[in-house]
Structure 1
Amino acid sequence: MFTYEQKSFLVYLFFFFTYLLLVNQASGQQTTPVRGQVVDKASGEPLPGATVSWEGQAQQGTITDENGNFILPMRETSGTLLIRFLGYQSITRDLSEKNKIEALVFYLSPEEWTLEEVVVSERKSDDNVASTEMGKNIISGQELKRIPALFGEVDLLRGIQLLPGVTTAGEGSTGLFVRGGSADQNLIQIDGAPIYNPSHFFGFFSVFNPDALSDVALYKGTIPAEFGGRVSSLVDISLEEGNTSKIKGEGGIGSISSRLTVDGPLFSDNSSFIISGRRTYADLFLTFSPNEDIRDNQLYFYDLSGKFMWRDGQQNKFTLSSYYGSDFLGLRGQFGLGWKNWVNSFTWDRRINDRNYLDVSAYYSRYQYLISFSDEENGFDWSNHFAESGMKTTWTYIPKENSELKAGMHGQLYHFAPVDLQGSLESGIEPLDSHPRTGLQFNLFLSGKTEVSDRVSLEAGLRWGNYQQIGNGVNYLYDNDDPQGSEQVIDTLEYRLGERMQAYQGWEPRFSARYRIASGTSLKAGFNRNYQYIQVASNSSAGLPIDRWVPAGRYILPIRGDQVSAGLFQNLMDDQWEVSLEGYYRDFRNIVDLKQGANVLFTDNIETEILTGNGWSYGMEFLLRKSSGNTTGWLSYTWSRVFRKIQGINQGLPYPPRFDRPHDLSLVVSHQLNERLSFSGTFIYTTGIAVTLPVGSYEVDSQRVPLYSEQRNGDRFPDYHRLDLSVTLKNKDKGRWWQGSWNFSVYNVYGRKNPFSYEFTTIYNNDIGFEPGPNEEASSARPGAVMTYLFSVLPSVTYNFKF
């Protein structure tokens, strides 16, 4: 049965839809509009972002959606359509009253002199000013490939880290910390399916092959109501669709890995495929080492992705996407650590009529990881996995131009498997008696946007989520129902399969408004609330492959995040330059942190190892961006602060988490010198990460041990800065079936030694590498700090090709 709140929400939906339909009927504008699709003449691929207007009325036109479709109000008399797209030859089409009611397809041919420089974008040139969206950034696959790369590996998440409002935990990490949120508070999804560990190589690289990506959108401000489940940000990634005309391919051979992508028509010009693979070969070189200790090690990652598309006329489009990735580190057969991602999604897009669209999607995402330690006395195998399945339906209604209504539902099932811990035969380690955890979540959402006037535009949304932890499973009982006060279990409640163990619900309103001051300037403001029902219990802010995800339950409450933001947006020089200044304040409730010395891997009583509290963050973000011309790039600067307040940590006083970095500056520049030669560079400067350094030391059994105060993260590493440069040289291959290019990159050009970690130890003979032994006596000894850094100057070369 529905609760009172659920019934109220359904009644609200019914009256809202009825109102919109009545208003639409009364408007007297039920004339049939002109509808059609704009596609690439050579490949048959749709062109999102193309401009369609009546000749002589360019300012009153429209743009094509992600499938190349458009709807344009009909003129009373016959007229001429003008279709334009950057890098393509513009065309005109005379329409009569008869063919205005037909579905039309317009084929655009690329301009020969820009054939290799075409960038398909879903955004209008003035979208930064005209839309109600705040805190949204889009990076295309072409932009990513121009950014200098570590080891020659172009990386999606490393590119996002260069945007304002996004920080990292330090060198060698792809973890994202957006506007004060931790890494697990970002919803990262591939074609609508979430991915739980988006990194390879312990965070040095992301799992996304750049050749297989269409574009990526980062939402850190007003997240649309159709998305939920995380309180910090949304990273929406779209895989590329294959072309429908002929078989094509591209790839690269880099310093540590190679990649290959092939796409083309599947059965006809109504279907296509794209398959992409990548693998490192660092482990292959290890086998040639004369050192047996090195030769027996294993270190590799690989991934494989594919997407299949089929169109049934102009009304139905079906896509199936899949991704699989694996990492493994093995040391001399004694220690092993591995993790795997498997993500699948299916979507059905249907155009019901000129004003109504239906999108249906289903997905399955699974993540598993293991630790293996070979030792007769202390050996063990520890493994775990969890999965999320979901189905989502979205209905889109366009009552008139510049207005849109969306409504839908989203169901999710989380399953966290019990920990599998097996000790070796003689180790004496007992198997861990743990239980599964299952969460069921149901969401309804409704959103709408409209142009109130030439100056004012509004967008509002409402999302309602109902979450239940269900059996089979157990709830442990403690004295005074407080697992932090007493860790002793006094009783256990067992639940059957599907039986409700705990339930939460929450309303998530979203609102944003835009006021256009002038044609190229606007003010925006917004509010966003999100609930998160699963989170990570970890003492590593950077994110590790073995992080323990836990669902909300009897003792762990869902996180609630509220954000208010406002900004000034301006475009200059015919929309070639974008300038924005945004400010925000974000409030977090019910976030968790670990007790000192907590153990979350080898226990089923996770609630006894964590503490719960609140947090807040605030900041200002500046962005100057140029997206057209021979020279492109952006300059971003962020000033921000992040704090947590949790009883039992830092004496109950506010403290900054590790990723609190008040100053963050990034400069990205790319310049096309001529048809064959291009340059790019990035410069990064950030405040050092917050850490807890020892205040003294003491001796135990003739060993000096650091002494730490109760204050958490009261110190900082030195400031971080780095310059990267790259040059791309295309071969003279015009007109050939094979096109190649060389990329030369230098990471950390001036050799800055940015600290990765500090070890506090005893230094003998003023030499950090000296170890006293029977034949080598120490003449002096003193306590000291030894800094470890990962990279100095690091050159790399990559050969890229297309065919």
Structure 2
Amino acid sequence: MLRFITLLTLLFLALEPLARAQSAAAAGSKVTVSGYLRDAANGEALVGASVVVKSLGVGATANEYGFYSLTLPRGTYTVTYTFLGYEPQNLTLTLTESQTRSVRLAVQGVQTGEVVVTGTKPDENVKSTEMSTNRLDMKTVKLVPALLGEVDVIRSIQLLPGISTVGEGASGFNVRGGGVDQNLILLDEAPIYNASHLFGLFSTFNPDAVKDIKLVKGGIPAQYGGRLSSLLDVRMKEGNTQRLGVSGGVGLIMSRLAVEAPIVQDKGSFIVAGRRSYGDLFLKFVPDQKDNQAYFYDLSAKANYTLGEKDRLFVSGYLGRDVFAFGKAFKNTLGNRTGTVRWNHVFNSRLFANVTALVSKYDYGLGVPEGNQSFEWKSNIVNYSLKADFNYYRTPQSTLNFGVSSIYYTFLPGQVTPLSATSIFRPIALDNQQAVEYGAYIDNERTFSPRLSAQYGLRLSMFDYLGGGTVYDYEGPNGRQKTPVNPRQYDKGQLIKRYPNLEPRASLRYALTDNSSLKASYNRMVQYIHLVSNTTASSPLDVWTPSTKNIKPEHADQLAVGYFRNLRDNAYEASVEVFGKRMDNQIDYINGANTLLNKNLEAELLYGRGRAYGAEFYLKKNEGKLTGWISYTLSRSERRIDGINNGNWYVNKYDKTHYLSVVGIYALSARWTVSGTFNYSTGIATTFPDSRYVYQGLVIPNVNGDVRNNYRVPAYHRLDLAATREGKIDPNRRWHSSWTFSVYNAYARRNAYSIYFRQNEDNPAKTEAVRLAVFGSVLPSVSYNFNF
């Protein structure tokens, strides 16, 4: 980390004279207008807002902090500032020298009975170089039917093409056939390692605190690394810089409250948002359940302050916890904690910098509090990160992005401590692990002509696996538990293994017409940390482990090609994408692998190749009384691991051949909106027995041969409905409220989460298959929401 700070200091010292030289050069024939674009009502940055000079046919887009820069010849121009859902502003500027011009846009007047379901420019899907990218506006997310009436970010993105899950109650999501650990989930740039509450029923993101959601499945910019499948970038609100605002809601299982206000008007603001479920409070009214606990809570906070004309500071944090307990018999806790400090600095009108320091921790614990079986088991992963990102606006046709980063990891794989002298458990402690991941990147967004644009770059990453502890080699045939040999002891901080990698990225757009384009992207991704789980869905007890001498980094090469078209003046947008992805060093497990508290975990692991390919279809209606989208994915995801399935390709546990989502939102009036979603997908792949044998009167299911995932559970489908009633619309009244009524699983489909086999109770000589459904009935709910 000290080396990184030294490098960062040298980089800043080198950029300062470059910035001054560039400013002097700009004083020639061209000048630059730059500044921030914000919401006039609350001061929130307008990410992706547009700045256009129509007479020259040039423009710029605001970055994730609302900053823009546009270089023009000297002269007088009409500059248009626009953002979807806001009144455009036209300013006539006489540019004789570079100047700063920050603009606030006002929200457009609401049209009675009309809904807009996009938070980006209406033609961005056609005009931008980005592909395999989706943005969701929180206004849209809040209208979609939700489980038990609670708006959820993760469940909303599962309605998009290429996104799936293994079923209700499953943590995380799967992107283009990848595992849940292959998604880089960021909350204000801090990584989240388990983005769920209540074992996957709800996500960690409080909707009252979220401003922007961006999901990238392909063509991932060189700025991001460390995962194979996707980037989910969640940005929190910055807080109202104009006045006090309070919002929240009361539902059947949880309540929420958010407060935002200025620190100093127009200079700084804050937001604090919290929520808590109260299932444990109801348990106290049931005599035989009063000592049990089942609840979660989280707290999100963010503050920002303008230090000067060129500097702005952001501080944000998240704290979330789940608690489950069965009296004195068992207790389980898990949670995430993050803290982020960011400093924005404008060197000059063309050079923008963001420096971030952050910490993120995920931990879980379980145990028995009292008695002769009392023990405490804990595990965690912690990372400390420092990074610097720069945007250099060379010309209206070219933006250069570059930066460096460093991450220090610590892993506690597992530690068991007896809580009494009479406990039957003995202390167990696996070796702590440390690692450092470095990254440097450069990326260029370039418009070659009105029809052709590209974004291309290169990321250099390096991973150092560090001691101390004991390192083994492993010998034995693949498919069986290996034997540890040749133990070697390393001191703390001593380098054990180093992995350097180059990761090229490129995206290309060619405009066929004003409302259609072809796009292609390629990216190589490398993942250095891995989630070890031999269950169908991840669980809180899964273990994060770094790449070691024996566990190599995962690699993925993905190529995607797509056709994008808008219809009827951008009222409709449609796209078709085909993709292919090859993955190396994929991890699987021997049959009956023990992944918990195993100091020789690497003896249970197998490695091989993966591949995923498919087509994604997307049709979206953006405007009018009826809005929504239809997404359909046809795909395949397979693995070939030496020691599994006789070395042949087999579908992995995330494979779903068909995945269909339909979302409809209809504005009945200015106060009533109804919505519905329908999901259909192929059942998950699993291994079923094909024979049985009897041992001491017990019928035991058996699988003949070395097969994996030879059957599928029945297809999944579900219909959800919702209706939202807004309070009386009075522009002179600050208090606003709404009621949301929803029905989850409207026709009571008993979707199989898993199927297991047992002896028939009436005839023990027979074996029966049993369907396990998380939700097998209709779940109605109601929630009340307010803001002022």
Task: Using structure 1 for the length normalisation, give the TM-score.
Answer: 0.91
| 1:712 corresponding residue in structure 2 | 708
| 1:238 corresponding residue in structure 2 | 235
Q: Is the Cα–Cα contact under 8 Å of residues 65 and 122 in structure 1 kept in the other structure?
A: no
Q: Is the Cα–Cα contact under 8 Å of residues 382 and 419 in structure 1 kept in the other structure?
A: yes
| 1:774 corresponding residue in structure 2 | none
Query: 1:354-377: per-residue Cα shift (whole Å, max 9, x none)?
Result: 211111111100111112136856
Residue 281 of structure 2 aligns to a residue whose secondary structure is helix
Aligned partner of 2:518 among 510, 523, 529: 523
| 1:354 corresponding residue in structure 2 | 349
Aligned partner of 1:210 among 207, 210, 213: 207
Aligned partner of 1:389 among 380, 384, 387: 384
The one of the two structures with greater contact order (alpha-carbon pairs below 8 A, sep at least 6) is 2
2:69 counterpart letter in structure 1: I
1:196 partnered with 2:193:
yes
User: Using the alignment, how far apart are the partners of 1:92 and 1:471 within structure 2?
Assistant: 60
Aligned partner of 1:788 among 772, 776, 788: 772
Q: Is the Cα–Cα contact under 8 Å of residues 87 and 114 in structure 1 kept in the other structure?
A: no
| 2:672 corresponding residue in structure 1 | 677
User: Using the alignment, how far apart are the partners of 1:442 and 1:116 within structure 2?
Assistant: 52
Q: Is the Cα–Cα contact under 8 Å of residues 66 and 122 in structure 1 kept in the other structure?
A: no
Please state how far the C-alpha of 1:109 moved relative to its aligned partner: 3.5
User: Using the alignment, how far apart are the partners of 2:46 and 2:435 within structure 1?
Assistant: 40
Please state how far the C-alpha of 1:478 moved relative to its aligned partner: 4.6
User: Using the alignment, how far apart are the partners of 1:529 and 1:208 within structure 2?
Assistant: 29
Query: 1:327-363: per-residue Cα shift (whole Å, max 9, x none)?
Result: 0111132112210110111111112112111111111
Q: Is the Cα–Cα contact under 8 Å of residues 87 and 117 in structure 1 kept in the other structure?
A: no
Relative to 1, partners in 2 of residues 1:474 and 1:401: Cα closer, same or farther, differing over 3 Å?
same
Q: Is the Cα–Cα contact under 8 Å of residues 483 and 608 in structure 1 kept in the other structure?
A: no
User: Using the alignment, how far apart are the partners of 1:703 and 1:715 within structure 2?
Assistant: 24
| 1:771 corresponding residue in structure 2 | none
Please state how far the C-alpha of 1:167 moved relative to its aligned partner: 1.2
User: Using the alignment, how far apart are the partners of 1:473 and 1:397 within structure 2?
Assistant: 44
Relative to 1, partners in 2 of residues 1:29 and 1:114: Cα closer, same or farther, differing over 3 Å?
farther
Please state how far the C-alpha of 1:52 moved relative to its aligned partner: 3.5
1:350-429 aligned at under 5 Å gives the runs 350-373=345-368, 379-417=374-412, 419-423=414-418, 425-429=421-425
Please state how far the C-alpha of 1:136 moved relative to its aligned partner: 0.7
Query: 1:523-563: per-residue Cα shift (whole Å, max 9, x none)?
Result: 11121101111101111231111111111111111101111
1:592 partnered with 2:577:
no
Q: Is the Cα–Cα contact under 8 Å of residues 158 and 174 in structure 1 kept in the other structure?
A: no
1:593-612 aligned at under 5 Å gives the runs 593-612=588-607
Relative to 1, partners in 2 of residues 1:465 and 1:117: Cα closer, same or farther, differing over 3 Å?
farther
User: Using the alignment, how far apart are the partners of 1:548 and 1:360 within structure 2?
Assistant: 31
Query: 1:678-718: per-residue Cα shift (whole Å, max 9, x none)?
Result: 01110000001101112122222322221123311110111
User: Using the alignment, how far apart are the partners of 2:768 and 2:463 within structure 1?
Assistant: 51
Relative to 1, partners in 2 of residues 1:553 and 1:519: Cα closer, same or farther, differing over 3 Å?
same
1:260 counterpart letter in structure 2: L
Relative to 1, partners in 2 of residues 1:38 and 1:223: Cα closer, same or farther, differing over 3 Å?
closer
Relative to 1, partners in 2 of residues 1:592 and 1:90: Cα closer, same or farther, differing over 3 Å?
closer
Please state how far the C-alpha of 1:208 moved relative to its aligned partner: 0.6
1:162 partnered with 2:159:
yes
The share of aligned pairs that are identical, in percent, is 39
| 2:38 corresponding residue in structure 1 | 39
| 2:11 corresponding residue in structure 1 | none
Q: Is the Cα–Cα contact under 8 Å of residues 368 and 384 in structure 1 kept in the other structure?
A: yes
2:724 counterpart letter in structure 1: T
Relative to 1, partners in 2 of residues 1:120 and 1:323: Cα closer, same or farther, differing over 3 Å?
farther
Please state how far the C-alpha of 1:67 moved relative to its aligned partner: 3.6
| 2:633 corresponding residue in structure 1 | 638
| 1:323 corresponding residue in structure 2 | 318
Relative to 1, partners in 2 of residues 1:350 and 1:133: Cα closer, same or farther, differing over 3 Å?
same
1:686 counterpart letter in structure 2: S
Please state how far the C-alpha of 1:178 moved relative to its aligned partner: 0.6
1:14-93 aligned at under 5 Å gives the runs 30-54=29-53, 57=55, 59-74=57-72, 76-93=74-91
Output the aligned Cα RMSD: 2.8
| 1:457 corresponding residue in structure 2 | 453
| 2:721 corresponding residue in structure 1 | 725
Q: Is the Cα–Cα contact under 8 Å of residues 250 and 802 in structure 1 kept in the other structure?
A: yes
| 2:787 corresponding residue in structure 1 | 802
Relative to 1, partners in 2 of residues 1:562 and 1:753: Cα closer, same or farther, differing over 3 Å?
same
Q: Is the Cα–Cα contact under 8 Å of residues 225 and 461 in structure 1 kept in the other structure?
A: yes
Relative to 1, partners in 2 of residues 1:306 and 1:117: Cα closer, same or farther, differing over 3 Å?
farther
User: Using the alignment, how far apart are the partners of 1:453 and 1:171 within structure 2?
Assistant: 47
Residue 280 of structure 2 aligns to a residue whose secondary structure is helix
Residue 660 of structure 1 aligns to a residue whose secondary structure is coil
User: Using the alignment, how far apart are the partners of 1:430 and 1:216 within structure 2?
Assistant: 46
Residue 142 of structure 2 aligns to a residue whose secondary structure is helix
Residue segments in structure 2 that go unaligned for 5+ positions in a row: 1-16
Residue 148 of structure 2 aligns to a residue whose secondary structure is coil
| 2:3 corresponding residue in structure 1 | none
Number of equivalent positions: 770
Relative to 1, partners in 2 of residues 1:689 and 1:295: Cα closer, same or farther, differing over 3 Å?
same
User: Using the alignment, how far apart are the partners of 2:109 and 2:429 within structure 1?
Assistant: 67
User: Using the alignment, how far apart are the partners of 2:87 and 2:19 within structure 1?
Assistant: 39
User: Using the alignment, how far apart are the partners of 2:182 and 2:282 within structure 1?
Assistant: 38
1:738 partnered with 2:725:
no
1:269-308 aligned at under 5 Å gives the runs 269-290=266-287, 292=288, 294-308=289-303
Query: 1:64-99: per-residue Cα shift (whole Å, max 9, x none)?
Result: 44444433444554344444444444444343456x
| 1:103 corresponding residue in structure 2 | 100
1:627 partnered with 2:622:
yes
Query: 1:467-500: per-residue Cα shift (whole Å, max 9, x none)?
Result: 11112222124558x9987744444322122210
User: Using the alignment, how far apart are the partners of 1:287 and 1:634 within structure 2?
Assistant: 43
Aligned partner of 1:249 among 243, 246, 259: 246
Residue 625 of structure 1 aligns to a residue whose secondary structure is strand
Query: 1:166-224: per-residue Cα shift (whole Å, max 9, x none)?
Result: 11111222421111111111110111110101111011111111111111111111111
Please state how far the C-alpha of 1:434 moved relative to its aligned partner: 1.8
Relative to 1, partners in 2 of residues 1:123 and 1:486: Cα closer, same or farther, differing over 3 Å?
closer
User: Using the alignment, how far apart are the partners of 1:501 and 1:484 within structure 2?
Assistant: 26
Residue 628 of structure 1 aligns to a residue whose secondary structure is coil
Q: Is the Cα–Cα contact under 8 Å of residues 40 and 109 in structure 1 kept in the other structure?
A: yes
User: Using the alignment, how far apart are the partners of 1:801 and 1:515 within structure 2?
Assistant: 46
Relative to 1, partners in 2 of residues 1:609 and 1:86: Cα closer, same or farther, differing over 3 Å?
closer
| 1:775 corresponding residue in structure 2 | none
User: Using the alignment, how far apart are the partners of 1:505 and 1:801 within structure 2?
Assistant: 51
User: Using the alignment, how far apart are the partners of 1:356 and 1:627 within structure 2?
Assistant: 35
Residue 282 of structure 2 aligns to a residue whose secondary structure is helix
Query: 1:9-49: per-residue Cα shift (whole Å, max 9, x none)?
Result: xxxxxxxxx99999999999851123344433333334344
Residue 420 of structure 1 aligns to a residue whose secondary structure is strand
1:496 partnered with 2:491:
yes
User: Using the alignment, how far apart are the partners of 1:624 and 1:167 within structure 2?
Assistant: 18
Task: Using structure 2 for the length normalisation, give the TM-score.
Answer: 0.92
Residue 242 of structure 1 aligns to a residue whose secondary structure is coil
Please state how far the C-alpha of 1:128 moved relative to its aligned partner: 0.8
Query: 1:441-478: per-residue Cα shift (whole Å, max 9, x none)?
Result: 11111111211112111211101111111122221245
Task: Say which is worse superposed, 280-289 or 294-303, in terms of deviation.
Answer: 294-303
1:668 partnered with 2:663:
yes
1:135 partnered with 2:132:
yes
2:769 counterpart letter in structure 1: A
Residue 799 of structure 1 aligns to a residue whose secondary structure is strand
Q: Is the Cα–Cα contact under 8 Å of residues 382 and 411 in structure 2 kept in the other structure?
A: yes
Residue 283 of structure 1 aligns to a residue whose secondary structure is helix
Aligned partner of 1:153 among 150, 153, 158: 150
| 2:7 corresponding residue in structure 1 | none
Query: 1:251-308: per-residue Cα shift (whole Å, max 9, x none)?
Result: 1111110111111101342000000001000010000013x1x222110110001011
Relative to 1, partners in 2 of residues 1:388 and 1:203: Cα closer, same or farther, differing over 3 Å?
same
